[in-house]
Amino acid sequence: MHKFRQTLARAYTVLFLIFLLAPLVVMSGAAFNDSKLPSIVPWKGWTTMWFSEMIQDQRMMVAFANTLWVAVAVAVIAVIVGTAAAILINSTSGRARTALYGMMISTILIPGVVIGISTMILWTKMGGVLFGPEGKPWPFIPGLHLSVLGQVSYIAAMVMLLVLARLQSFDAGLEEAALDLGASHAQVMRRILLPHLYPAIGAGAAVAFFQSIENFNVTQFTRGGADTLTVYVFSKVRAGITPTINALAFLLIMVTLVLAVIYEINRRRRARVEAAREAEARRAEEAMLL
């Protein structure tokens, strides 16, 4: 019976990995197929032509640059807002904590279409009230800055959840001890609390960055005339997709894998350094007891 369960678990793992990776493998293979259709069947030969055409597609390159600009801005603002919200929620209790937590989480549950439309209406109506219906200045007109604000409104909640989970393992006694020894609140924040939160903040920044890259609903209603990658791909799907999309997707997958490998190598290096420090501390403690 135990062997049967092991076999069943392995079969499930294999099927899950196939379900997860097969679309990526097919899409990556289509980027090297010498066919005008984005597929690997029939295979008409090996080519890198689609990568050359991708670079020559100026609209795609502009959309890609816009996507990176928006993603970096969203990651920076979402980390600041999400971290501040997590610290605030962690420092409160009772109904205030429940209300703050509920308000932050509710933004994740709201459909992206609603967030996009409401963001666009809020800013354009605000500009109309302040400057009249004609000649509204930036930032009261649709554009990528509104896409950033709209995405931050719900992605910051994801960052908040990651940082709040990390805060549960923080020893508040360290903060009180530092204050008793004369440290200011700013020094406690900079030298004790934030270093403890750095892993969660880094993970939150990565989540915010990739959530922004794949966002479509909010961007579609707030972008104005600018293109991002998801909007560009959607327009190409309607007009007729080409393997240049597969080439771009292959490069994004490779960049993601490289970043994941670098992160894992760095994490293991830090774990080894931390283990060595703990072992050295134990040896020093044992030497003092002898």
CB 63 within 8 Å of CB 236: no
Q: Which two tokens stand for residue 57?
A: 């597609």
Question: Would you tell me which CATH number, out of the four given (3.10.290.10, 1.10.3720.10, 3.30.1360.170, 1.20.20.10), belongs to the domain 59-241?
Answer: 1.10.3720.10
Total-model pTM: 0.83
Domain ranges of the chain: 1-31+243-289, 59-241
The ranges of the chain with pLDDT < 50 are none
Q: Which two tokens stand for residue 196?
A: 């403890």
So what's the pLDDT on residue 1? 66
pLDDT digits (tens, 9 = 90+) for 31-78: 999 888 888 888 888 999 999 998 898 988 999 899 999 999 999 999
DSSP letter string, 138-174:
TTSS-SHHHHHHHHHHHHHHHHHHHHHHHHTT--HHH
So what's the pLDDT on residue 144? 94
Q: What is the chain's length?
A: 290
Collapsed DSSP state (helix, strand, coil) of residue 33: strand
So what's the pLDDT on residue 176? 85
- CA of 170: how far to CAs of 89, 97, 101, 140, in Å? 14, 18, 19, 41
- CA of 138: how far to CAs of 4, 133, 144, 253, in Å? 65, 13, 11, 35
pLDDT digits (tens, 9 = 90+) for 115-137: 999 999 999 899 888 888 777 88
How many whole angstroms separate alpha carbon 167 and alpha carbon 246? 41
